[in-house]
Each structure stands twice: as structure tokens, then as C-alpha cells.
Structure 1
Amino acid sequence: MARHNLRTVVSFEVTRTLTKRRFWIATLIVPVIIGIVVGLVVASSSSTDNRVTSQKDAKFTFSYTDSSGIVDPAIVKAAGGTVATDGATAIAAVKAGKLDAFFAYPQNPAKQATKVYGVDKGLFDNGKYASVAKSLLTASAEAKVGSAQLSTLVQGDPPVDAVAYKANGQVTGGIAGVIPPLLFLAIFYVVILLLGNQMLTSTLEEKENRVTEMILTTLNPTTLIIGKVISLFIVGIVQMLVFALPVVIGYLFFRSALNLPSLDLANLQLDPFQMITGALLLIGGFVLFTGTLVAVGAIMPTAKEAGQIFGVMMALIFIPFYAVTLIVSDPSALIVQIFTWFPYSAPVTAMLRNGFSSLSPAEAIGVIVEQFVLGFVVLQLAVRLFRYGSIEYSKKVSLSTVLPRRRAALPASGK
């Protein structure tokens, strides 16, 4: 009968949520907006590419002076430029619109700025003047060095292929090894942000509708709460799939138009310890936050009052990002250790550290145990609060009235 009740609760909650028009409006509005933005970006990208192509072929008149002696007159002449006899006269010609641009190269272009003057063609078109001035200087320097390879080395941008090894001698995955475990952190945020309000109001709806007494006459409170938690997780999966759909479509069919980098899944490195740790931290954090929000819903008489606590809970999962650089660079710092072990900042902090391989096995086990133990304790508290707070509609349920009431009931049952 208990299994049947649990299945009934889950089926009812999922069906009730998925058949609500407002649920699908709230769920689909973001993918629809993303789709519209993707369409506009694709259209704008195509227009921009055509514009850039036309600008490459566009010619404009310019002159220059060169105090460094680096600029090659032949290269300038090939680009359609001329030598200016006087800088002030050339600037005056630009101001009068008789000359499109004038470049004044200093004695030491490596330390001194090249002065560029041009006729206003619009915010984006004006950038072509500086680009041409730099390209002429670079081309002239390469011609004097006599080798494009040597010029690249002098500029300090040679390609480097670096390999780092872990303590066990295995090659670190770099960014390819960081992405997979951090996916659990992304899922955690999506689930909590999308379902947090539903977690909070899952028990409040019955209280506000004044039907909790009727429900508790036919259903065990523990079964009801667990059923609601399972149904929330199922609804969360549905929402995540709906949110992921436009992202997948955009990546598969519009990757080039959106200038997205190609992702080679073969290069991703899946560390078993990190993946298992990330999954357990995700589940444990979900249990803790769900139990806490359900308990808050059982205490508060209205959703408006519960919303204040909801804001605090949401702030707690974002606090670790204020110290993200310290979490990545110095995980032994005191503030990082506090965030790692404080229950409501632990899931985010631990998943971040797990992704960057700074969470030790002992710390991982400790945080996971903490999340599951506290999560189940809070769930049990939520059940008790719901049982005793189901008939309190006008004010908050006090823990001091709930817990002593249970202790007082023990001697009576013994009689």
C-alpha cells in the first residue's frame, strides 16, 4: 500500500505539473527566446561577413610620415598610400575631407604610439585606419627581418604544446579534463534555479488550499514528501531536456554561423573518481536543498513569506563564486575551507574543486557524507514540520512547539 501511495503521489504531482499551461509557458519561453536570438545572430553574422568582405576590397587614400625609417615605401605604394611632406598639412587635408587618412609613425614604434588620423566613416568603419597602419608597419618589419617566422618569434607569439603530469604519472587533461566534472555543477545550478520555487511551494499549495488535513488522513506524510521530491526531480529532467534542445540544434546546424568552436568529444578525459564524486555531490546537494526548501514551505503560512527565505537560499549557492579565483588557485585558504564544509555552500565549492582536481579523496568523502546525512535529517524534519504545521494557516510553525510536542507524546503513548 505504501509503494502504491508513493507511486500515486509521484504520478499525480508529475501529471499535475506537466499539464499546467503556465509550466510550459515558463519552460518554453527561454528556448524560444534563444531560438529567436540564434536566428538574429545567424542573419547578422551573414550580413557582417558580407560587409567585412566588401571592406577588404575597399580602397581609401592616405599618406604617412615615418620617423623610424622602418616603413617600406614600396609596400605603402602598393597599398595606395603616399609620403606626406608635412604632417600638419596632411592632418588639415583629412579635416577638410580631401584625404581619407594620415599615419604618423614615431621614432620608436615599439614604445611610442603611432598617430592615426582619419575621416569619420562610422564607429566600426573607423577601425580600418588603425588596422591598415599596423599592417603596413608589420609587413615592413617582416621585409627587413627577411623571414615571417622570425618576425613571429620576435612578436612573442610562437605556438607551444605543453604537457603536465599528475603525481601518479598520468597526463592531466587540461580543459578537456575539467569540463566533464564541471557539468555536474551546471546541472546543479539548472535544477535548483528552475525547481527551487516549486520545491518551496510544493507543500505550501496544500496548506493554502486548506486540504492538508484531508490528505494526511489517507496518506503518510513521509510518503507524501518523498513523492514530491521524486516528482520534482522528474520534472527537472523534463525542463533540462527542453532547455538543452535549442543548444544542441544550434551547435549541430548553426555552429559556423555562430562562430562556435568545434568540440572534439574524443579529447574529453573522464576521470572515474571525479565523475563519481561529482555525481554524488550533485545528488547530495539536491537532497539537502530540496529538504530545506520543503521544510521552509511547511513552516511558512504563505508563499510570499517563504519567498524571503528562498532568496537567502539562492544567495548561498552563488556566494562561492565571489571567491572562485581563490578556490582555483589556493584551495587550502581558510575561506575556501569554510565554503567547502559549510553545508549550503559545500556542493558548489566542492564541485568546483573537484573539477580542478584540488578536492582530496578524504575531503570528497567527508563532504558527500555531510550532504547526504544532513539532507536526510532535513527531510525527516520537513516531514515532521508538515505533519504538525498542516493545520497552522495563520502563522509560522515554531520548532520549539513541534519538537517538544513530540517528546511529550512519548510518555502518553507508553501509558
Structure 2
Amino acid sequence: MSQHRPSRHNLGTVISFEFRRTVLKPKFWAISLAVPVLIAVVVGLIALSGQTTAERAESQGSEPVVFTYTDASGLIDPGIARAAGGTPATDPAAARAAVVAGVSQCHIDYPKDPLSTPISVRGRDLGLFDSARYNAVAESVFRSSIEQRIGDPTLAKLALHPPDVDLVTYAGGQPTPGIAGVIAPGIFLVLFYLGVLMLGNQMLNVTLEEKENRVTEMILTTMNPTTLIVGKVLALICIGIVQGLVVGIPASLVFGLLSNSLGVPAASPAGPALGSIPINLGAVAIGFGLFLTSFLMFTGLLVAIGAVMPSAKEAGNAFGVVVMSMFIPLYAASLLVSDPHGVVSQIFTFFPLTAPVSALLRNATGGLDGWEAAVTLVILAGCAWLFLILGVRLFRTGSISYDSRVKIGRALGWRRGR
């Protein structure tokens, strides 16, 4: 009698079942919508805070500050100081003591050499932000006095406020976008972090759920384990796409609505752009490839971890180590950007667990060569395939190890038992 072999035609059924089971849960939408809602709340709070600060500054500007001052530099114009609410003091120590005692509101000491010694301001506490009025008054009186001495308003403004510099750099005869060029390829780094952090537990549960429910024997009698796991992974990718759209579409709408109020120009002179974001198609294509292979590699790794561990609690500890490896390159981010072709950067880029973040960061900042991108893509794709095959093998041989970890060596046939 021939041995029954599970059919592979159930792949579509697995994908459909896993996708619908997750997407139809209210918890899924609550978690997915929490990110754009949180972004909207933060943006709203920042806008409200900015408006409140501006109104407070405007109201404070209409309230004069009464102060005493001494001028060892001889640069302060008495008329300007008087108009700002200042009165000259003959005894600096007594004037400061009056402020400490609460008799005087503020005292300003202008030093003999303002280039080497700061202006000393002592004032009655008006709160963390309101007390900044004293600095503004001291600087305003000093600036206006300097302008009065120079005589020419244009020369005075140039002396106190150098003109802005408009820098445009070129490569290959074409203008480079500068810091704005980091945005488009850098989005894939953000998406990678969001994808793994939001879907990490589901990646672990690809194999753990059936083991914890004690139904693996029944499932494997009717379905090939490769079909089961591949179907779950593909469903997970579809779920990730849905979550990306749920987060990305509202974020894009908010950016479009706020771009005019934030003063964002309609286009960039450095090249093709979406809004004000320059688009480098090569960097974006590499970023997408790195994001996809990195996501698949971490998915395969977490699937393999889930196949080894007997419970979600133990798998969670291993997941913490995986997440840690994602954040290690951030501590070396300055080195990856400043010395992208150094030894440390090469190690971080080609080591599988640190390669995703390192390569995506270097690609966003323009420090990843074409051959390095190709090698990294091969490494990530190869590791993704190996981890997925390893997960299938461990799940097949260790599916009934409900209460103990799967012995990897025995599962792979490295150690033969009697």
C-alpha cells in the first residue's frame, strides 16, 4: 500500500483562511489604526502647542520688562535702553540683590568685552518659558544699540545677521538633492521597523499556534508542512501590505493637507519629486528590494524560532534578542554614515542580522555602492530561503514536541538516535 502524501493544492486555502482570520478581527484594526491616530494626535498637539507659544510670545511682547542695567562696554545707547524699560544702575551688586529680594524685576550687566564674556541677566522667576523674556530684552537692547552706532541699517543687519547660504551640490553634471534625498529611500527603513515590530508576534505564531493547540498531527495528515508554512507567510505578507496602507494613506493625506500650512514647496529643483520629496528611482528600487528581502529573512528566522520553542512565552525571549539585533546598527549610525566603506560598516552590512538596518541606512544616505547592494540582497534572500526551509524542517520533525524544545541537531539529522 502506497504511503499517503499530503497535497499542495491547499496553498490558496491557507492564505485565504489566515488572511481573513486576522483581518476580520477587531483587534487587528484597532492596532493598525492606532498608529495613524497617534500620529494625528501628536501632529495636532504640536500644532496647538506652536500656536499657543506664538500667542504667548505675542502677548509677552506687548508687556514691557522693567529692568536696571550697567554697561561696562560703553556700547549701550541710553535712549534705546530707556525706551525698552531700562534704568541705569550705579551699583551692580545692589541691583542684583534687589532682584534676589524681589524688589526689582530684572537686572542686566553688559560686560566690558561682549565677545569673550556673556551678558549677565538676573530676573524674577516667571516660569520655565516666560522667563526667556529677559534674554530677549537684553539681546534686543544690545542689537539695537549696535545698529545705532553703525548708522547704516543694511550694514548693521549684515553684521548681526549674516545672509543665508543656498548650497547646491552636483554629481555627474546633475544637482544632488542633499538631505531631502534621504526621505524617499529612508521610508523603507521605517517600514521595516514597523513591519517587524507590528507583525513579529504573528511571525512567531506561524508555527506556535498549532503546537500550543495540540492540533499539528491532525493538520499534517492532510497538508504538507511546507504548504502550511508558506501559505501562512504569504498571508502574513498580505496582512503587512494592508497594515502599510492603513498607516501610509492617512499619513500621506495629513502630509498633503499640512504641506501648505507648513510652507512646503510644491516641487524640488533637484529633480522629480512627489510634493517636495526628490525621488531617486535607483535608490528607491534598492530600498524596496532590501526591505522585501529583509522582511522575508526576519519572517523566516522567527518562523524557525517558533518551530523550536514549545510555547509563546519562551519564543518571546528569543524575539527580544532578534529585536535587539535590529537596533544595534542605530548605535553605529554615525559611523555608517560618515565612513560607509570602512571595515565596521562592511561587517554590519554583510552580517545577516544587522544587514537590513545597515544597508537600508547606507542606501538612504547614498553610501551604498551597487555591488554592495547586490551582495547584501543575495545574502538576505539566501538567508530568508534557508531560514524558511529550516523552519519547515523543524516544524515537520518537532511538531509533536509540545512540552520541550526541539533538538535542532536531531531534527536536521546531524545526530542519529538508536
**Match for residue 161 of structure 1 among 150, 162, 166:** 166
More deviation, 319-328/211-220: 211-220
Residues 132-173 of structure 1 show CA distances to partners (whole Å, capped at 9, x for unaligned) of 00111111112222344434544474211112222x332221
The AA in structure 2 aligned to 1:305 is E
Task: Report the Cα distance in structure 2 between the residues aligned to 1:347 and 1:217, rounded to whole angstroms.
Answer: 37
**Match for residue 220 of structure 1 among 224, 229, 234:** 224
Q: Do structure 1's residue 67 and structure 2's residue 76 form an aligned pair?
A: no
Segments of structure 1 that go 5 or more residues without pairing to the other structure are 409-415
The AA in structure 2 aligned to 1:187 is L
Q: Do structure 1's residue 16 and structure 2's residue 25 form an aligned pair?
A: no
Residue aligning to 1:290: 299
1:304 Cα offset (Å): 1.0
Structure 2 SS opposite 1:64: strand
**Match for residue 281 of structure 1 among 290, 300, 305:** 290
**Which structure's residues are more often helix, by fraction?**
1
1:405 Cα offset (Å): 8.0
Structure 1 SS opposite 2:69: strand
The AA in structure 2 aligned to 1:314 is V
1:4 Cα offset (Å): 5.0
Question: How do 1:134-145 residues align onto structure 2 when only pairs under 5 Å count?
Answer: 134-145=139-150
CA contact (8 A) 1:181 1:354 kept: yes
CA contact (8 A) 2:188 2:287 kept: yes
Task: Report the Cα distance in structure 2 between the residues aligned to 1:125 and 1:313, rounded to whole angstroms.
Answer: 46
The AA in structure 1 aligned to 2:354 is S
Residues 87-116 of structure 1 show CA distances to partners (whole Å, capped at 9, x for unaligned) of 233334334444321111111112112111
Q: Do structure 1's residue 271 and structure 2's residue 275 form an aligned pair?
A: no
Residue aligning to 2:397: 388
Task: Report the Cα distance in structure 1 between the residues aligned to 2:414 and 2:400, rounded to whole angstroms.
Answer: 15
Residue aligning to 2:269: none
Residue aligning to 1:413: none
Residue aligning to 2:387: 378
Task: Report the Cα distance in structure 1 between the residues aligned to 2:281 and 2:127, rounded to whole angstroms.
Answer: 54
**Match for residue 240 of structure 1 among 231, 241, 244:** 244
More deviation, 132-141/147-156: 147-156
Structure 1 SS opposite 2:65: coil
Residue aligning to 2:354: 345
Segments of structure 2 that go 5 or more residues without pairing to the other structure are 1-5, 267-273
**Match for residue 378 of structure 2 among 344, 362, 369:** 369
1:206 Cα offset (Å): 0.6
**Match for residue 345 of structure 2 among 336, 341, 348:** 336
CA contact (8 A) 1:142 1:151 kept: yes
1:182 Cα offset (Å): 1.0
Task: Report the Cα distance in structure 2 between the residues aligned to 1:130 and 1:407, rounded to whole angstroms.
Answer: 79
Identity of aligned residues (%): 48
Task: Report the Cα distance in structure 2 between the residues aligned to 1:138 and 1:222, rounded to whole angstroms.
Answer: 75
Residues 158-198 of structure 1 show CA distances to partners (whole Å, capped at 9, x for unaligned) of 211112222x3322210121211111111111111111111
Residues 37-66 of structure 1 show CA distances to partners (whole Å, capped at 9, x for unaligned) of 445444444433332221110113112111
Residue aligning to 1:412: none
Residue aligning to 1:403: 412
Task: Report the Cα distance in structure 1 between the residues aligned to 2:362 and 2:65, rounded to whole angstroms.
Answer: 54
| Pairs aligned (count) | 405
The AA in structure 2 aligned to 1:164 is T
Residues 386 and 94 from structure 1, CA distance in 2 versus in 1: closer, same or farther, beyond 3 angstroms?
Answer: same
**Match for residue 182 of structure 1 among 186, 194, 200:** 186
Residue aligning to 2:319: 310
The AA in structure 2 aligned to 1:191 is G
TM-score (structure 1 length as normaliser): 0.89
Residues 188 and 8 from structure 1, CA distance in 2 versus in 1: closer, same or farther, beyond 3 angstroms?
Answer: same
Task: Report the Cα distance in structure 2 between the residues aligned to 1:362 and 1:74, rounded to whole angstroms.
Answer: 68
The AA in structure 2 aligned to 1:277 is I
CA contact (8 A) 1:38 1:250 kept: no
**Match for residue 211 of structure 2 among 207, 230, 236:** 207
Residue aligning to 1:325: 334
1:284 Cα offset (Å): 0.8
Task: Report the Cα distance in structure 1 between the residues aligned to 2:166 and 2:7, rounded to whole angstroms.
Answer: 60
Residue aligning to 2:125: 120
1:406 Cα offset (Å): 11
The AA in structure 2 aligned to 1:75 is I
Structure 1 SS opposite 2:168: coil
